[in-house]
Amino acid sequence: GDSATVVFRGEGFALRAAAAAVKAQELIDGIAVGSLSTPLRLRVGVGGGLTRLLVVGDEIQRMVLAGGEASKLALKAQSRAEPGTTLLDERLAAAMGDRIVVGPTRDGMCELRAVDTPPEAAPIVPLEPGIEDQVEEKIALLEPFVPAPLAARLKQMPDGWRIEGELRRVVVVFAEVSGFERSNEQIGFEVARDVLRCHRRYGGVQFKFDLTSSGHRTLSLFGLHAPTENDSERAVLAAIELSGLVRSAAAQHPEIELRIGIHVGEVYFGAIGSSYRYDITVIGDVVNIAARAAAAGPAFGVVVTEAVLGELSEDFSSEALDPIRFKGKSEPMMLHTVQGASGRQARYVQKRRSRRHLAGRQAQLEILEDARKSALKGRGRVIGVVGEAGTGKSCLLADVIDDWLEAGAVGALGRCTFVTRTEPLAPVRSMLTNFVGLSEGDENPVATVQRSLGSYRLGEGTEALVRFLAGKGPNGQGTDGVADDQSWQQVLGAVERFVLQRVAEVPVLYILEDVHLADSLTSRLIYRLAQVSRKHRFLFIVTYRSDPSLVDLRELLDEEIALDNLHLRDAADLVGTLFGADQVDDEVAGFLWERTEGNPGRLTELTNFLRDRGLLRNHAQTVVAPPPGLELLKEVVPSNMAQFALGRLEHLGEVERRLLRIAATIGRSFERDVLAQVAQSLDEGDIDFGVVSLIDEGVISPEASRRPSYRFREEITRAVTYSTIPESERRDYHRRIADVLEKLSDTDVERSAVTLAQHRERAHQLAEAVRWYERAIRLVVFAGLDEETRYLIGQWERVVGMLPPDERPKLRTMANMAVRKLVATARHGLSAEAVELAQGLADAYGRSLEAHERAVVDLWSGAALLGTGKKSAARRALKSAFDKSADNTSRCDAAIYLFKAYGGIDVESSWWLDRASELVKPGTSQALRVELARACQVADRGKLDEARIINARVRDEARRKDQLRIAAIAASNLADCDLVSGDVAHALAGFEEAVVMARALGTRSDDAIDQLNLGICHLFGGDADRAVRHLESALAISSEVGHAGTETEATVHLGLALALSDDIEQGERLVESGMERAEPGGFVHDSGLLHLLHIAILRRDLPLVDERLKAVLALDRSSLPPLLQRTLRRLSSRADELEGTIDE
């Protein structure tokens, strides 16, 4: 089941809590679940008294935990309640008196049966005045309470939507900590913080934090939002680290215990609750099994199921427990305790029997050879080798190892891995345990280490290092224990001293691979060793991929060797060596180099692949392609490496081939049942065998779903497989797939209208495709998805155009689709395109439109005309829409647009704003839009403070309602108030905030306005170069979508930005061009006059300065916003300075 803690505070809290408990029991009564119709039951406990609401965690992730007297009483009552009942503590019951009906009192508890006098519903408390202050700080305080991936997903959901229930395959970590009494309650909070940090560090999501009688239990999920192939490893590593942290706390508080259980499988993930408040939760058998596994294990043990153990790599050591039986399971379940990551063993290097040819690496080999010789002469070197996968880092080092060993020196190699990246000094420990001769079964490892290190003077860290190497942490608590930083520093110092004394004895080569995966202590040790005196006989080589975290280390290296892909000549050299040939045909060499991009690893793989199949041969010491030559290779070898896996499948049987072709036709993911029904000629056994074979070959992988499902590992594999199917066979597959999908229920996710439309289209069943596209269009229109609506109608129009004229939809249907496309285009901000669509619609279907459709066309064509700057035409269309529309929502929209269309005529615009206010429904998004319009009107009148108050109120309310687009517009308006007030710094911060909010939801016109605002801020802030980038982007987007107002404003401001940066002539032309389109008396026009004055000053043209200064001074300066007034004063001063300089 599930559990929840609910806190009631304030006046009448006890009666409200009792009423809520009774109501909850009523709601759940009669609900049954599962195939056996098992009834759901609630066990409710209600307690009263002092409560502590504690925030546990840190700045990145937090959770709220209820504690104190009331919580303990409620928990005690809940644990004693029978299913379907509610228990109260007797003091709370007595306080409510005859307002409730209770049963007999027993052990200080009584059963709550009814509430005779229900309390009034609690009012929704309004936000306190001043909510607009420090908004960013307040948001920052709330964000840590929601996991970041979940928060991002919630932000992107349309208004009114919630996360729907899904089945997810996840790794569940259930941890229960006990032994916390009031005397050490603070320790419990510290442990809770550690839980959050451990799980977050490994990518887990904390979902539950519940009280127990003497502690708390937690539920964490791995692989929920971003599944990876090593989710089980991450979960186990987090659990091991947590166990060590709690064990450390238990050293001072022996009554504290921790038990952890881990299981993997499917859970229900989704929202439960009401539209007013709901919770994101996970429910399922996996959770229960993880909890039972935790209870079955030893204190501080990490217990995993067989399913989890099977997903762990060999890097983990484990021990089997006695099997246990679970309710509802026919067979006992095997459990195991995981002790920790065993780590990959480092080894002392040995010379190879033969050397591998390294093509194109002569310069790198010479650098390493020089370093080797210098090191052997007592001039130590630290070398870095950087390169991506397949570039040959390990192969390059193999030659160094051979040469080093031939000189009679010794060497050791260690490797950092993902699994050990959080195990302190894991690769270093492996290297040193080899040196001291420590084996896994050593009965006295401490004595063995002491004996081997006895001759070395390692200082104060000797004991800590011995314990560490012997399998215990520096504090003696074991490798999964936690030591303070001072202890680890002692270990690092001892290791450093050991290395220095060791290289004084004998030349030593130390190689540490993949240090981009190093744990933090190993990284610190590398930094320390990289700075030691070079007056010793050592060569220290580290390999890594390019990673920003290694910038500081790379600066300490004596030399960095970069391994890039091979040039064509070197690639041919490598191919010739693989064949034992003297040369490679030029066309063959070019082909192989192009297909592998010169990556040595890929080139070797492809060459061996073609050689083994006789597609390349050594003819007279030349590698050639047999007849018909290169054309055959071009057909056989895909254009990139992702397709090589497909080429390796040629040995598969016919069953696997057929299944693969059908699966590729279905799509990237496919259900086993659909695959089986389409593959009519194959029996169940053949299908199961074929699917297993394809999994084994790495072509497909299982996918978590309600029914057995699979997924292509590489999309390119699916695409290439599909391209090999003959057209007639391909059509037949699509037809059969569509037939199968249509038989599924309407609620089945696989029965997507778009998917069916595409399959029918590709089966060349065009009339059926049109029908399914129409169904899909209805769904996206209903959901308000404008971009998807435009795309699907475009697809529908394309398929309709392929039909014979007598089979095409009726004229009414065509007209209806045209109207929908117009609305979606206009709402998406593509004004110019919408105007064209409106004209075409009127010409083609004007007489076929019904009255309400004509009103819709007038509304959205008017909005589009307004966007293109054609205000007179926009007013006519919008007035027609206002008069013709039958519903108040459309009339209100028309009135809002008319307010904007009459923006320069105050009486008219006010009249239309009043009409909109009369028509709007309170509490709707439309009401917020009306408020935004009123804020603009107030700002235009110069009342900026009043405009700020309105915009802040709208922004906050829109955020509460998840109407992010309106919130973004309000935030942008607030920033605009700051800008025209002259506060450029705050304006820039505000516009950047608006951009962040609007980016996921905005339209192309929104993008243009965002770029324009940022550009203006940088321009008036004195950063012309940044202004140019933003304004050029604004100009390009607004020109593309036909948003005339934004295009004009961007042109004017870009002109000055260019003039200030590098091109006065072009800048002046742009300002003048924009001024021709700007409305006199507006912000853009007045800004343009100031920009022209500024450019005249830059030219040092005094007559032109006088002429333009007069034009500026002719403006009504009292009506200029503070930003332009300040700019005018500054430019007037500069003009005076210029005049004085020229006079002199």
Residue 125 has pLDDT above 60, yes or no: no
Closest by alpha carbon to 382, among 513, 283, 548, 529?
A: 529
Residue-wise burial string across 358-397, b where 16 or more C-beta atoms lie within 10 A, e elsewhere: bbbbeebeebbeebbebbbeebbbbbbbbbeebbbbebbb
Q: For 451-471, what is each residue's pLDDT tens digit?
A: 888 888 888 778 888 888 887
What are the residues facing 39 on neighbouring strands? 32
pLDDT of residue 700: 84
Cα angle for residues 767, 769, 770 (degrees, 5° grid): 65
Q: Over range 72-84, report the average pLDDT.
A: 89
Among 728-742, 822-836, 989-1003, 1009-1023, which stretch is predicted with the lowest mean pLDDT?
Answer: 989-1003
Q: Which CATH architecture has domain 347-563?
A: 3-Layer(aba) Sandwich (3.40)
Report the amino acid identity of residue 496. E
Q: How many Cβ atoms from other residues are within 10 Å of residue 706's Cβ?
A: 12
> Which distant-in-sequence residues (6+ apart) come within 8 Å of 108 by Cβ?
89, 90
Three-state DSSP string of 72-113: HHHHHHHHHCCCCEEEEEHHHHHHHHHHEEEEEEECCEEEEE
Residue with tokens 């800004």: 1087
Rounded to 5°, the CA angle 303-307-312 comes to 75
What CATH code would you report for 1003-1144? 1.25.40.10
Q: What are phi and psi of 712, to 5 degrees?
A: -65, 130
Contacts of 636 (CB under 8 A, 6+ apart): 610, 615, 647
For residue 435, is it left (φ>0), alpha (ψ between -120 and 50) or beta? Answer: alpha
pLDDT per position as a tens digit, 878-928: 999 999 998 898 999 999 999 989 875 678 888 999 999 999 888 888 899
Number of alpha carbons in the 13 Å side-chain half-sphere of residue 1067 = 25
Of the ranges 68-72, 639-643, 978-982, which one carries the lowest mean pLDDT score? 639-643
Domain 920-1001 architecture: Alpha Horseshoe (1.25)
Mean pLDDT for the chain overall: 81
Whether 965 contacts 1002, CB under 8 Å: yes
Strands 302-305 and 257-273: parallel
Residues 879 and 832: their CA atoms lie apart, in Å, by: 20
What is the Rg, in whole angstroms, of the alpha carbon atoms belonging to the chain? 37
- Inform me whether the pLDDT recorded for 790 exceeds 80: yes
Both tokens of residue 260? 């952890």
| Rounded CA separation 1134/1142 (Å) | 12
Report the pLDDT value the prediction gives residue 327, as an integer from 0 to 100: 65
Average pLDDT (739-751) is 70
Contact call for residues 1028 and 1061 (beta carbons, < 8 A): yes
Judge residue 975's burial from the number of C-beta atoms within 10 Å of its C-beta, 0-12 exposed, 13-18 middle, 19 or more buried: buried
For 879, phi then psi, to 5°, come to -65, -40
CATH number among 3.40.30.10, 3.30.70.1230, 3.40.640.10, 3.30.540.10, domain 13-115: 3.30.70.1230
The CA distance from 672 to 687, in Å, is: 9
Strand intervals (E) in 695-754: 700-703, 709-712
Q: For residue 333, count other CB atoms closer than 10 A to its CB.
A: 17
Q: Which two tokens stand for residue 976?
A: 């605009």
Average pLDDT over residues 663-679: 89
**Tokens coding 634:** 């071009």
Q: Indicate the burial class of 1056 (C-beta count within 10 angstroms; 0-12, 13-18, 19 or more).
A: buried
With bands split at pLDDT 50, 70 and 90, how would you rate the model's confidence at 1138? confident
**In 397-517, where do the E strands start and end?**
410-415, 508-513
Distance CA 909, CA 897 (A): 10
> SS3 of 203, please?
coil
Q: Which of 36-45, 325-334, 1073-1082 has the lowest mean pLDDT?
A: 325-334
To the nearest 10°, report the CA torsion of 306, 308, 311, 312.
-100
Please, which pLDDT band fits residue 476 given cuts at 50, 70 and 90? very low
Q: Which residue has better confidence, 111 or 323? A: 111
pLDDT tens digits, 220-248: 888 876 666 678 888 998 898 888 888 87
Comparing 585 with 328, the larger pLDDT belongs to 585
> According to the model, what pLDDT value does residue 732 have?
92
Residue 451 burial (CB count, 10 A) = 12
pLDDT exceeds cutoff 90 at 184: no
What is the C-alpha to C-alpha distance for residues 893 and 734, in angstroms, rounded to an integer?
45
| Burial group, residue 966, by CB count within 10 angstroms (0-12, 13-18, 19+) | buried
Contact predicate 896/866, CB 8 Å: no
Among the four given CATH numbers 2.30.30.60, 3.30.9.10, 3.30.1490.20, 1.10.10.10, the one describing domain 650-744: 1.10.10.10
Name the percent of the chain lying above pLDDT 90.
23
Tell which residue, 171, 320, 302, 167, has the closest CA to residue 232: 171
Question: Per-residue pLDDT for 279 more than 70?
Answer: no
pLDDT for position 648: 47
CA proximity to 299, closest of 263, 342, 249, 333: 249
Q: What is the pLDDT of residues 1021-1070, one digit of tens each?
A: 889 999 998 899 889 888 887 888 889 999 999 999 999 987 899 899 99
How many angstroms separate the CA atoms of 507 and 501, rounded?
11
What is the reported pLDDT for 1006?
76
Residue 529: enclosing H or E segment and its boundaries?
A: helix 520-529
Higher pLDDT, 56 or 952: 952
Pick the CATH number of 161-341 from 3.40.50.150, 3.30.70.1230, 1.25.40.320, 3.40.50.720: 3.30.70.1230
Say yes or no to pLDDT of 152 above 60.
Answer: no
pLDDT score, position 759: 92
